[in-house]
């Protein structure tokens, strides 16, 4: 079960750490399923000091986000704007879609949206039923 609920492009909220980092939100830039780490924009920044090694290269300070463990962050639902656990609902295409544990909204990524659009023409009503059933469980 190496699947991760967080995907690149998601907005996440930090749920652990000190007062400075907890509650911070940012966009996921990189997801690494092997190490279970994500890189979040503006989060866990380290300042790198670099000397110019050539005439073209500029020296100075660079702020770079470092990977954080995926268990340190929670997905922020784009619909209800809350940090939430992720449910999985079966979509029309037979693939599982992520949904918000709090408001039940399906959180789709760009790839999923494309798949959903093609599947939508077949039926939209069965999707509703399936989603409702999943919510009851
Ligand atoms: Zn929600």
What is the H or E stretch that residue 132 is in? helix 125-136
CA 37 to centroid of ligand 1, rounded, Å: 23
CA 49 to centroid of ligand 1, rounded, Å: 40
CA 44 to centroid of ligand 1, rounded, Å: 25
Please give the chain's pLDDT, 137 residues, in tens: 446 889 999 999 999 888 788 899 999 999 999 999 999 999 999 998 888 888 888 888 888 899 999 999 999 999 999 999 999 998 888 888 999 999 999 997 655 445 445 555 444 444 555 554 555 44
CA distances from 67 to 25, 74, 103 (A): 14, 14, 29
Cut 0.85: pTM above it: no
CA 109 to centroid of ligand 1, rounded, Å: 14
Specify the CATH number for 1-50+58-76; select among 3.40.50.620, 2.60.40.420, 1.10.287.130, 2.30.30.30: 2.30.30.30
Domain-by-domain residue ranges, the chain?
1-50+58-76, 85-137
Q: Tokens in use for 77?
A: 């639902």
């Amino acid at each position: 079960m190496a699947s991760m609920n967080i995907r690149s492009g998601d907005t996440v909220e930090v749920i652990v750490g000190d007062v400075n980092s907890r509650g911070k939100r940012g966009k996921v830039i990189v997801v690494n399923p092997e190490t279970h780490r994500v890189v979040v924009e503006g989060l866990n920044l380290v300042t790198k000091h670099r000397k110019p090694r050539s005439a073209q290269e500029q020296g100075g300070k660079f702020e770079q986000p470092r990977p954080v463990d995926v268990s340190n962050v929670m997905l922020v639902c784009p619909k209800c704007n809350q940090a939430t656990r992720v449910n999985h609902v079966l979509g029309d295409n037979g693939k599982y879609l992520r949904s918000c544990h709090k408001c039940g909204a399906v959180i789709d990524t760009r790839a999923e949206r494309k798949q959903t659009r093609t599947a939508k023409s077949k039926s939209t009503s069965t999707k509703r039923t399936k989603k409702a059933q999943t919510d009851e469980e």
